[in-house]
Every structure is written in structure tokens, then in C-alpha cells.
């Protein structure tokens, strides 16, 4: 399997626009744990091996446990995610799989209740950003190192 085009080289202005959104996300008060959970879970759903590899390594370096990383695809049945993390994971799944059921009122209302509008807006932008990166990684066949 060979990598296809390198979007950062072929279309650098478009690539920089997505990097700008990533830089915005990094400037928000979203916790590193929340950003990691979003990135890993969306990448699992989308099947982006490059992003799963990158973001699980990053999460481990910043203190995320193996147990929580391994159980992330079964978070509903695992007891070690907080109420806020569960709301973030639920909305991550629904935004990532938006064509299936859209974002349900129950998921949205729980997220806004627990996180507030501003933090939720930042969560949604983070979800959108990792989904964009996943689509680049999958389409161009980025290969984990």
C-alpha cells in the first residue's frame, strides 16, 4: 500500500486552512484528555490507522492509561469515563456518523448541560477537525510509521 498524493504539497493553502482550525482547537480550554478521546474515538469509527496510531501514542505520552485507550470503543460499558467524557464521546460518535441519525436531541441536551455552550462548541469544532484529518489520511492512504 503506497501513499497517494501529499495534500500539503499539492494544495498547501487548503492544507494550511485545516491546520489553522487545528491551531484554534489547541488554543481553546479543551483539556488534553478530551481532545485525545475525541481524536481517538472518531479515528476508530472512521478506520484511520494513521490517526489512531498517532493519537494513541500522543495520549500515552500525556498520561492516558492503556486501560482507557483499549476500552474506548466500548466506553458505554466501561466504568472509567466521567460523565463529561461520556457526553463528549456520545456527541463525537453522532457527529462522526451524522448521516445515520444526525445528532439526537438527547445527546445534544446532555452535552450542553454538562459542558456549557462554549465548551460544547469547541468540542464540536474538534470533532469536525479530526474528521477532516481522517478523511485526508484515509483518502491519501497515509501509513503509520
- Segment 39-49, tens digit of pLDDT: 999 999 999 99
- Look at the chain and count its residues: 145
Measured distance CA(30)–CA(8) in Å, rounded: 26
CA-based nearest residue to 7, from 145, 130, 115, 138: 138
Looking at residue 14, its pLDDT comes to: 95
pTM for the model stands at 0.95
Amino acid at each position: 500500500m503506497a501513499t497517494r498524493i501529499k495534500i500539503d504539497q499539492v494544495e498547501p493553502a487548503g492544507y494550511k486552512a485545516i491546520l489553522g482550525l487545528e491551531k484554534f482547537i489547541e488554543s481553546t480550554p479543551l483539556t488534553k484528555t478530551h481532545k485525545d478521546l475525541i481524536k481517538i474515538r472518531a479515528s476508530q469509527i472512521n478506520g484511520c490507522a494513521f490517526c489512531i496510531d498517532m493519537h494513541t501514542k500522543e495520549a500515552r505520552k500525556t498520561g492516558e492509561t492503556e486501560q482507557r485507550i483499549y476500552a474506548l470503543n466500548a466506553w458505554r460499558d466501561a466504568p472509567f469515563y466521567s460523565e463529561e467524557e461520556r457526553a463528549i464521546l456520545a456527541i463525537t460518535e453522532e457527529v462522526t456518523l451524522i448521516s445515520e441519525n444526525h445528532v439526537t436531541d438527547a445527546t445534544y441536551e446532555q452535552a450542553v448541560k454538562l459542558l456549557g455552550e462554549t465548551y460544547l462548541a469547541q468540542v464540536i469544532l474538534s470533532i469536525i477537525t479530526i474528521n477532516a484529518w481522517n478523511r485526508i489520511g484515509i483518502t491519501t492512504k497515509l501509513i503509520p510509521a
